[in-house]
Structure 1
C-alpha cells in the first residue's frame, strides 16, 4: 500500500513572514481530513534557526485529532528537541535529518556527521522506551552541490549504520533536487533488496514538470512511501539559496492513481486543502 506523507512543516519553514499560529493549525486540521498516512506538522528545533516553527507546541494544542486517522510527525535536530517532543503523546514519529554531506550536516544541525550519528543512537534508544518511531532522513541522499563525497555505496554504508541501530524507517532525501530518474530507481531497488525489513521513503524536491517521472522512478525501484507538499511549496532553507520546491502532492496523487494505485483519499477535503494552501502561502 502506498503511503503519502504531507509536509506542511517543510512547506512553511522557510517562509520569511511568520504564519499566525491559528492559521497554521487551521491548515493542518484541514489536511488531517484528507486521509494522508502521516502529516509532518512541525518541528522542535531552535527558534533562532527556524523561527517559523517556534509555535509547534501551540499548534499541536489546537489540532483536532479525534476524527483523523493520520499520524503526526515532528522534526527534531538534537536530543533536547526529542525530549521536548516526548512530552506530547499525540506525536507518533520523530524525524531526524542525517546528511551524507559533512557540509550540509553542519549547516542543517550545526554538528558533524559523527556527532549526528551519536544523536541518532541516543534518540533511537529514547524512542524505543517512549513508544515513538524514529524516521531518519538521509539528506543529500542523491548527491550534493558542495563537492563532498557521494556514491550509492556511501548511501549503503549509512543505511547499514542505521540498521545496526534498529531504525525501521529511512527516507532518502534529494534535498536540492539533483536526482535523476535512473539513480532514483536504482538506489531504491538496491536498498530495498538489501534491507527488506526497513521501510524506505522518498523525500524528493523537484521542479513541477519532473514530479511525475520521479514518482514513477521511485515506484519502479519499489518505493511505497512518498513525501510531498500541496502546490509544491517549500524547500530546505539551510540547503541552498536557489530553493527547489517540494514534490507537489496533487501531482503525485494524479501520477500514483494513473499507475493504478488506490490512495483512499477524501477528494472533497483535498480540494478544500488546496484552496486553503493558496491562502496560507500566497496571502
Structure 2
C-alpha cells in the first residue's frame, strides 16, 4: 500500500499566500510520518499558481536526512520539467494529461495532442536525470463540459502511455463525480491490461462518498492512493466550487477497518494534523 500525501494539491487553490517557512515546517513534519511520497510543490508559472511560486525555496528548507519518503513535483511543460529535474531531492515529476480537451487547455494551455508530445519530452528528461514520470489522467471519470467519457476512452489514454514506457499512472476523479461501479471497472480493466504499470487513485470527493470510492478502487486491486490531511484542496482549474481531496485520516480509518496496515507513524501523523490547522484556513 502506497499513500501519497498531497500538500501541494491542498495549498494550490488558496488565495492567501502561505509563508514559505510555514510550508516547509509542515512538509518537514509530513516527512516524519512515513508516507511513500509527498506531492510537495510544482514548477509551473507563478501567474497560473501563485501559491506555489516558492517551491524551490521550500525545497531548500526540507530535511530529507532521516526519511525514506520520496518527493513529487507537478510540472505543466518541458521548461518546468527541466527546472524540477535540476533538484536531486525530487524523485518524481507529475504531469496532468486530461481526457477532456477543454480541461487540458484550461489546465496546461495545450491541446491533448500537444500535451502528449510534451509528455514524451518530459519522459526524456526523466530518463536523462534519473527521475520517474507520474502521469495523472485528469477527468478520468467524467467532466463538466459534456465531452465524451467511458471506460474505453480511459483505456485508449492508458494505451498511449505504452509508447513512452510510462511506469506510474494515477487515474484522477478531478471533479468528484466518479461512481463506484465505474471506478471498479476502470481500475480492473487497466490493471489487468497493463500489469507492468503501477496504477494509482487520485480522488476528489465530498466526505460521505469517500469510503465507497476507496472500496471500489481497493476491490479492483489499486494499492496507490493520493490524499490530503483533512481533505483540503481540489483543482483550482476545474471549478470555482472545489470538491476536496480524499482526507488522509478517512483513508487511514478505512484501511484500518479493512485490516490493511498503512505502516505510518501515527504519532507523527497526529502532530501533522494539528499543524495543518495553522497552515490552512478553517471555515
TM-score by structure 2 length? 0.99
Q: In the TM superposition, what is the alpha-carbon distance from 1:278 to its structure 2 partner?
A: 1.0
Residues 1:6 and 2:16 aligned together: no
Runs of 4+ in 1 over 4 A off after TM superposition: none
Aligned to 1:159: 158
CA deviation profile, 1:146-165 (whole Å, cap 9, x unmatched): 11121110111111110121
CA deviation profile, 1:157-187 (whole Å, cap 9, x unmatched): 1111101210000000000000001111111
In the TM superposition, 1:124-203 aligns within 5 A as 124-203=123-202
TM-score by structure 1 length? 0.99
Q: In the TM superposition, what is the alpha-carbon distance from 1:282 to its structure 2 partner?
A: 2.2
SS in 1 for 2:161: helix
In the TM superposition, 1:7-86 aligns within 5 A as 7-86=6-85
Cα distance in 1, alignment partners of residues 125 and 43 from structure 2: 16
Mean Cα deviation higher: 71-80 or 142-151? 142-151
Cα distance in 2, alignment partners of residues 5 and 163 from structure 1: 23
Aligned to 2:116: 117
Aligned to 1:222: 221
Structure 2 runs not aligned, ≥5 long: none
Aligned to 1:282: 281
SS in 2 for 1:19: coil
Structure 1 runs not aligned, ≥5 long: none
Residues 1:209 and 2:208 aligned together: yes
Cα distance in 2, alignment partners of residues 278 and 183 from structure 1: 34
CA deviation profile, 1:27-60 (whole Å, cap 9, x unmatched): 0000000000000000000000000000000000
Aligned to 1:260: 259
Q: How many residues align?
A: 282
1:14 and 1:52 in contact (8 A); partners too: yes
Q: In the TM superposition, what is the alpha-carbon distance from 1:213 to its structure 2 partner?
A: 1.5
Q: In the TM superposition, what is the alpha-carbon distance from 1:242 to its structure 2 partner?
A: 1.4
1:215 and 1:256 in contact (8 A); partners too: no
Aligned to 2:95: 96
Cα distance in 2, alignment partners of residues 9 and 182 from structure 1: 29
Cα RMSD over matched residues? 0.7
Q: In the TM superposition, what is the alpha-carbon distance from 1:130 to its structure 2 partner?
A: 1.0
Cα distance in 2, alignment partners of residues 187 and 68 from structure 1: 34
1:38 and 1:71 in contact (8 A); partners too: yes
Aligned to 2:249: 250
